């Protein structure tokens, strides 16, 4: 009875949502035209790709809080991990090791390309960080770079580095009057600096989340 | 009906399926998957509705990109808590509570 009621409720909910969206699309377009506002301010953003401009310049707060959330989640995962943050044991299969040795340099190259491409086409820190994280997981599982077994200072610095770089840049820009208010002439360089830090930290955090949960 | 609206409609159906899953399923792993389904539905609605006129809007795209990363983090957090619960109680379901 309860089960049927929930299913009927969900179906009804989807139906109402779809009807509301159809009605919404029949209305005239809203007064606030966000694509036009983004396009008008692209010249001051320091990058050429609109999504990167929104992520790191127009709505930089979101990205700053996002990397903070990721770092917080990694700390919680470490805190509740029953094995005191030990990553899974690495295998030493020769086939996997050869594959990792071939694939990881290419993945690193792809990550750097994605980071650089973010300024003028789809790409950026998050995509590059995901590739970097996958490369780190592959290296660990192949037993080639088992740094997760005993995280040293270097690893901890890498995990927190992206957030700290972002925070330092954001607070340095407070001198301009507002948090994350980039001066147009330095915006490109600052965004690249932040994105480079974010890429390293995101790669390490994503790999850490995977390996500590595995 | 534009492609964007079809995406948004699919997103609404996925979201409702996720809601039903979260309420109906007892196993926590299934519940986390249903929760992820809700997230995917919300992302599809955001992207689809924003480009219903055929124009690409970069603002929702950037928000969804942020949202995907946060949902990955939330999933990892939920999995870690589930594993902790399993270690403490040996069960993959939440303890029963009285409805009052």
List, run by run, the mean pLDDT of 10-residue segments along chain A (214 residues).
90 92 78 79 81 83 90 89 61 85 94 89 88 92 78 84 90 79 82 90 90 80
Q: Which of B49, B52, B58 sits opposite A54 (nearest CB)?
A: B58
Would the pLDDT of B10 be above 90? yes
User: Does residue B96 sit within a domain?
Assistant: no
Question: Please, which pLDDT band fits residue B40 given cuts at 50, 70 and 90?
Answer: very high
Report long-range pairs for A111-119 (Cβ below 8 Å, ≥24 apart): A111/A135, A111/A199, A111/A203, A115/A195, A115/A196, A115/A199, A118/A47, A118/A49, A118/A52, A118/A195, A119/A47, A119/A48, A119/A49, A119/A52, A119/A188, A119/A191, A119/A192
Place of tokens 């607070």: A171
State the pLDDT at residue B79: 92
Mean pLDDT value across residues B58-84: 90
Residue B45 domain boundaries? 3-89
CATH code: domain of residue B73 = 1.10.287.3510
Across the interface, whether the CB atoms of A66 and B84 are under 8 A apart is answered no
Residue B94 included in any domain? no
CA distance B98 to chain A (A): 16
Write the residue in B70, B77, B87 that is nearest to A77 by C-beta.
Answer: B77
> Is pLDDT at B100 greater than 60 in this prediction?
no
How many beta carbons lie within 10 A of that of residue A190, not counting itself? 19
**How much of chain B is helix, strand and coil, in % rounded to 5?**
75, 0, 25
DSSP state, A49?
-
Judged by CB atoms closer than 8 Å, whether chains meet at B5 and A14 is answered as no
Q: Is the pLDDT of residue B41 over 90?
A: yes
Distance CA A51, CA B63 (A): 9
Number of domains in chain B: 1
Domains of chain A: total: 1
8 Å CB contact of B16 and A3:
no
Helix (H) or strand (E) holding B47: helix B28-50
| Of the partner residues A14, A80, A212, the one whose CB lies closest to the CB of residue B13 | A14
Q: Is there a domain that residue B95 lies in?
A: no
Going from the C-alpha of B85 to that of each of A46, A182, B19, B22, B78, the distances in angstroms are 47, 45, 23, 18, 10
Q: What is the pLDDT of residue A47?
A: 83
Instruction: Give the separation between CA A169 and CA A146, rounded to whole angstroms.
Output: 32
Domain-located, residue B10: yes
In a domain, B56, yes or no: yes
Task: From chain B, pick out residues whose CB is under 8 angstroms from the CB of A3.
Answer: 24
DSSP-assigned letter for residue A122: S
B56 vs A: CB within 8 A = yes
Q: Which residue has the higher pLDDT, B69 or B97?
A: B69
Per-residue pLDDT at B20 exceeds 90: yes
Those residues of chain A whose CB sits closer than 8 Å to some CB in chain B are 3, 6-7, 9-11, 13-14, 17-18, 21-22, 24-25, 29, 34-35, 38, 50-51, 53-55, 58-59, 62-63, 66, 69-70, 73, 76-77, 80-82, 126, 202, 206, 209, 212-213
CB atoms under 10 Å from CB of A148, counted, come to 22
C-beta atoms of B62 and A54 within 8 A: yes
Domain membership of residue B99 (yes or no) is: no
Q: How confident is the model at residue B16 (pLDDT cuts 50, 70, 90)?
A: very high
Distance from C-alpha of A143 to C-alpha of A115, rounded to nearest angstrom = 27
Q: Is residue B65 part of a domain?
A: yes
Query: Residue B97: inside a domain, yes or no?
Result: no
């Amino acid at each position: 009875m309860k089960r049927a009621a929930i299913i009927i409720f969900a179906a009804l909910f989807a139906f109402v949502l779809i009807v509301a969206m159809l009605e919404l699309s029949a209305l005239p377009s809203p007064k606030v035209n966000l694509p036009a506002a983004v396009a008008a301010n692209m010249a001051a953003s320091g990058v050429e790709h609109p999504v990167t401009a929104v992520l790191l310049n127009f709505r930089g707060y979101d990205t700053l809080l996002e990397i903070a959330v990721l770092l917080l989640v990694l700390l919680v995962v470490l805190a509740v991990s029953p094995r005191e943050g030990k990553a899974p044991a690495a295998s030493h299969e020769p086939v996997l090791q050869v594959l990792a040795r071939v694939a990881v340099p290419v993945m690193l190259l792809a990550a750097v390309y994605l980071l650089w491409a973010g300024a003028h086409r789809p790409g950026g820190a998050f995509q590059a960080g995901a590739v970097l994280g996958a490369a780190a997981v592959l290296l660990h599982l192949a037993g080639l770079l088992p740094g997760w077994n005993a995280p040293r200072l270097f690893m901890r610095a890498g995990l927190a580095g992206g957030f700290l770089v972002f925070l330092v840049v954001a607070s340095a820009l407070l001198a301009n009057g507002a948090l994350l208010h980039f001066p147009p002439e330095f915006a490109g360089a600052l965004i690249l600096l932040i994105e480079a830090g974010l890429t390293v930290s995101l790669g390490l955090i994503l790999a850490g989340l995977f390996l500590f949960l595995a | 009906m534009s492609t964007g609206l079809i995406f948004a409609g699919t997103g609404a159906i996925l979201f409702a399926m996720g809601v039903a899953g979260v309420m109906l399923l007892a196993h926590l792993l299934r519940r986390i998957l249903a929760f992820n389904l809700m997230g995917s539905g919300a992302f599809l609605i955001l992207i689809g509705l924003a480009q219903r006129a055929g124009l690409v809007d970069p603002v929702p795209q950037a928000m969804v990109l942020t949202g995907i990363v946060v949902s990955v983090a939330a999933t990892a957090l939920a999995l870690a808590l589930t594993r902790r619960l399993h270690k403490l109680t040996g069960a993959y379901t939440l303890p029963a509570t009285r409805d009052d």
